[in-house]
Amino acid sequence: MQTVGTIVSQDLISYMNKLQLYITKSLRGFKNMRDINPSEDVRRHIHDVRNALEIIDYDPREKHLFYLISYIEEGAFFTILRTIPDKPLDHLASTIFVPAGVTVSRGEMASIVRATTRMVSNPAVTAEDLNALTEMLAREYPADAAAPAIEPSTGGEYAFCYYGAPGERRLDDFFGPGLYQPDFVPYAGVLLVDSNLGLQAYGIEAGREEEPAQEAEAPETVAPEPRYEPAAPEQEPEPEMRPEEPAKQRGRRRVYHFELPLVSDAMGAPVRFDVETKRALDESPVEGYEPVDKISEGPDTVNYLEYAGEEVSEGYSLKWLIYVASTAFIIGLLSGWAIFHKSAPKIVAGEQTAAVEAVEARMQAPAPAAEEPAISPSETPAPAEATPAPAAAQPAGEVTAEAIAYLDNNKKWTRAELEKHPSLRGLYDDMNNYRQTRLTDFWAKRLAKSKEFRRVAHHVGEGMRKKVFKPSGTYNSSGEETITVQSYLNRVDPANPAKK
């Protein structure tokens, strides 16, 4: 087959059998951060794609993940967009380039997307992350010279495509052979939006703009042919209802994230699981446990559960309490699963059941602050205790009733609010740096009138006595200055944090 009008550089030929990766940042301008297997013929097509995020209604204060597909003559781009909180449209982009004619299996591409998504989801991109990706991308793939040509993206506007809901495509349907979608060619690119997130997209939905024409031509007895759309419960389709109530929104599933403490932090992190359901939850999905606060949905919201042990008589022995708690935990998990499984919701252990969707916008870690770290191949995070924490500020004056009221009436304590009370200055630093002795000796006496802080002091002491918690680093990551009381108890006394 003769090629006319296209000159391919030696750089592109030398890497034609390898995938390429381009990491960029759109924050106070557009900046190239790091490339793997780059070529100038491809790099010149890497540009700021913040306009693609304009078509999705998302909360800029939170961290979100989106995927973008676009094409050039030399191959296809699959871009992972991780938003940077506080500034709308700011983002970190990691673009995977698959050269034309290169055959990558669905599973292999899923592994690369998963590793890349995990990297950009972390607060910092480390040398270890980059080295691991460089090793993954060192593989050479077979190229088919007779493969059909790829038509480049031709449009000036971005479109969107929903995935993930029943009847819709899955994310991995766009991997491997599914990366090239002829329906996506007329747009500058197509933003993939997870229907389960409940976000609203605006503008053109790729592959659906032609559907209204069917209304005039199709006989009344023939329903329009569905296209990656859940079956409607009505007997007859009603096209005129679609602008107000798209089928995807009617089928949207809610996702709730929960956390249960372990007996000891030596066993690992607290147990986290997801519940997917079409109805709103207002009670614990695990029998014998109750939520610490009102249950809320969302990719960055964790609902903490505690054992409802306050109803147990004080006359029973500690051993009996432990036995009951253990039994309730096991029975609660089984019966909770049975109840929700029977009524349609699905409890998913860990982050996701699908291999690739494990790293979609359901990140368990809290979103970082607006300040984003620079990416450097030699940069590695410093050990948590490499630099001693500064001495805590000293409190001043007598503890006021207002200070006690703040502690007892709030489930989350922020540094700013704590330090508004002179008598509480230094408390945040002591808690954040796990200064156990100071919390159990100094602050326990000073804040004896606070019911909530008595819980904190008690469980810090229990964690020390039972040796189930070894202080390391800080409670909050850099930029975060909020202490969620129940989460803190889960850390310092994982054996029994919920007992009041």
Cα–chain center distance at 306? 24
Q: What is the DSSP string of 301-321?
A: -EEEEEE-GGGS-TTS-HHHH
The torsion of the CA quartet 112, 114, 117, 123, rounded to 10 degrees, works out to -110
State the pLDDT confidence band at 247, using cuts at 50, 70 and 90: very low
Distances (CA, A) of 289 to 285, 491, 497: 8, 18, 13
Q: CA 65 to CA 79: how far, in whole Å? A: 10
The rounded distance, in Å, linking the Cα atoms of 287 and 296 is 18
Which whole number is the average pLDDT over 76-80? 96
- Would you state the pLDDT for residue 331? 52
**Mean of pLDDT values over 40-46:** 92
Cα distance between residue 67 and residue 178, in whole Å: 14
Q: Residues of the chain with pLDDT > 90: what percent?
A: 32
β 189-194/482-484 pair status: unpaired
Does the pLDDT of residue 230 top 90, yes or no? no
HEC profile for 198-235? Answer: CCEECCCECCCCCHHHHHHHCCCCCCCCCCCCCCCCCC
Dihedral over Cα of 331, 335, 336, 341: its sign:
positive
pLDDT at 491: 83
Q: How far is CA 307 from the centre of its chain?
A: 27
3-class DSSP assignment, residue 431: helix
Strands 91-99 and 75-83: antiparallel
Q: What is the pTM of this model?
A: 0.44
Q: Which residue has the tokens 């909360």?
A: 59
Q: Taking 80 as the threshold, does the pLDDT of residue 60 lie above it?
A: yes
Q: Which residue has the higher pLDDT, 497 or 61?
A: 61
pLDDT attached to residue 122:
82
Point out the least confidently predicted range of 251-265, 361-375, 381-395: 361-375
- Please tell me the predicted confidence (pLDDT) of residue 254: 78
> pLDDT: is 424 or 61 the higher one?
424
Q: Is 349 helix (H, G, I), strand (E, B) or coil?
A: strand
pLDDT of residue 325: 52
Comparing 156-165, 347-356, 376-385, 416-425, which segment has the lowest mean pLDDT?
A: 347-356
Q: Is the pLDDT of residue 76 over 80?
A: yes
d(CA 436, CA 250): 50
Q: What is the pLDDT of residues 92-108, one digit of tens each?
A: 999 999 998 888 889 99
pLDDT value of residue 16 = 53
pLDDT at residue number 346? 42
Please compute the mean of the pLDDT values over residues 41-50 and round it to a whole number.
Answer: 92
Q: Which residues 6+ apart lie within 8 Å of 426 measured at CB? A: 392, 393, 394, 395
**Please, which pLDDT band fits residue 333 given cuts at 50, 70 and 90?**
low
What pLDDT was estimated at residue 232?
Answer: 43
More confident residue, 174 or 250: 174
pLDDT-derived band of residue 500, with 50, 70 and 90 as boundaries? very low
- DSSP for 3-42, written as a single string: --S----HHHHHTTTS-EEEEEEESSSEEEEEEES--HHH
Q: Per mean pLDDT, which range of 126-135, 359-368, 374-383, 482-491 is the poorest?
A: 359-368
pLDDT value at 124 more than 60: yes
Mean pLDDT of the chain: 74
214-226, pLDDT tens digit by residue? 444 444 444 444 4
- Per the structure block, which two tokens stand in for 19? 């995938």
| Among candidate residues 83, 91, 81, 88, the one with its CA nearest the CA of residue 27 | 91
Q: What is the mean pLDDT of residues 59-80?
A: 92
Q: Helical H runs in 55-142?
A: 106-121, 127-136
**Cα distance between residue 428 and residue 435, in whole Å:** 10
Q: Domain residues of the chain, as ranges?
A: 10-201, 254-359, 401-492
Cα gap 51→150, rounded to integer Å = 24
As a whole number, mean pLDDT of residues 124-128 equals 82
Q: What is the pLDDT of residues 255-308, one digit of tens each?
A: 888 887 765 555 656 788 888 876 778 888 887 788 877 888 877 678 888 776
Does residue 187 carry a pLDDT above 90? Answer: yes
C-alpha 282/C-alpha 268 separation (Å) is: 29
User: What pLDDT, on the 0 to 100 scale, is given for residue 317?
Assistant: 41
